Amino acid sequence: MSQLKLLWSMQQHDRRLAQLIQKLKEIENEKKMDDLIVKLRQVEYDVTNKKTRKEVNELKIQRSNSKLEQILFKLNDIEGKLYDGSISDLKQLTYMNKEAQDTKKEFIKLEKEILILMEETEKLGQELMEVVDIYNKLKEEKDNNMKECESVSSQIKLEIKKEKIIISKISSRLSEDLRKKYTTLKASKGKVLAQVYDGKCNGCHMTIPLFIMSKLKNKDEITYCDNCGRILYYKES
């Protein structure tokens, strides 16, 4: 392969390498800024919140139930004394009657509170199940996405490795002068070789003089564009 063709091939592989590196960067970024991660965190917060509220309610119900038992015990005690005929003092009887009524009211009130709490807790349990379900689905989706990203990124890394090997092989076949020239031009112009289209340099769009065109068509010589300094590459279409 002529030096010119080697240079052309080097540029093609260089460009491919740059594209691969860019693609890898994008995938790594995508992995970090995944929308799913944000959503997952929100749902995770929801799960913890509902779980805590449910636990607090359950504790409240437990406490209220034992209080209810105490009230019931007190009520039975008062009613027992009221109806066993042991108290004959009218004033005391009236007082105890009122106490029994108050205790009954307290009992009914607490019972209502417990019922409301139980309903609320049941609803929370239902909501929690739904949120956990959403969480699991999102987590699965996120894990799958991650796996896919990993597999694509390792594939790109492999391709990058291959391209680097090819480039170094091409580079070793170039003369030292051209290798240096390639590096310098790449740093200053980005594109080292410019293809010739319609008699014009593709790098700067200047018309190539006819005598240079005939040189390009016949030989694989290294020819520079007078205007932009890039190496001209002519490929018959």
Binding site for Zn ion (CB under 5 A): 201, 203-204, 225, 227-228
Q: Which is nearer to Zn ion, 35 or 226 (CB)?
A: 226
Whole-number minimum distance, CB 2 to Zn ion, in Å? 21
Pick between residue 15 and residue 112 the one whose CB is nearest to Zn ion: 15
DSSP state for residue 198 in the 8-state scheme: T
Of residues 52 and 207, the one with the C-beta less far from Zn ion? 207
Distance between CA 202 and CA 225 in Å, rounded? 10
Rounded least distance, CB 202 to Zn ion, Å = 8
Nearest distance, CB of residue 21 and Zn ion, angstroms: 27
Contacts with 57 (C-beta within 8 Å, 6 or more apart), sequence order = 117, 120, 121, 124
Residue pair 61/114 in contact by the 8 Å Cβ criterion = yes
- Which secondary structure element, helix H or strand E, spans residue 132, and what is its range? helix 90-173
Distances (CA, A) of 134 to 45, 112, 138: 12, 33, 6
d(CA 193, CA 144): 43
Task: Classify residue 16 as exposed, middle or buried by CB count within 10 Å of its CB (0-12, 13-18, 19+).
Answer: middle
**Min separation Cβ 224 and Zn ion, Å:** 8
Q: Report, in Å, the least distance between residue 180 CB and Zn ion.
A: 20
Comparison of 57 and 203: residue with beta carbon closer to Zn ion: 203
User: How do strand 231-233 and strand 200-201 relate by DSSP bridges?
Assistant: unpaired
Q: Which C-beta is closer to Zn ion: that of 100 or that of 201?
A: 201
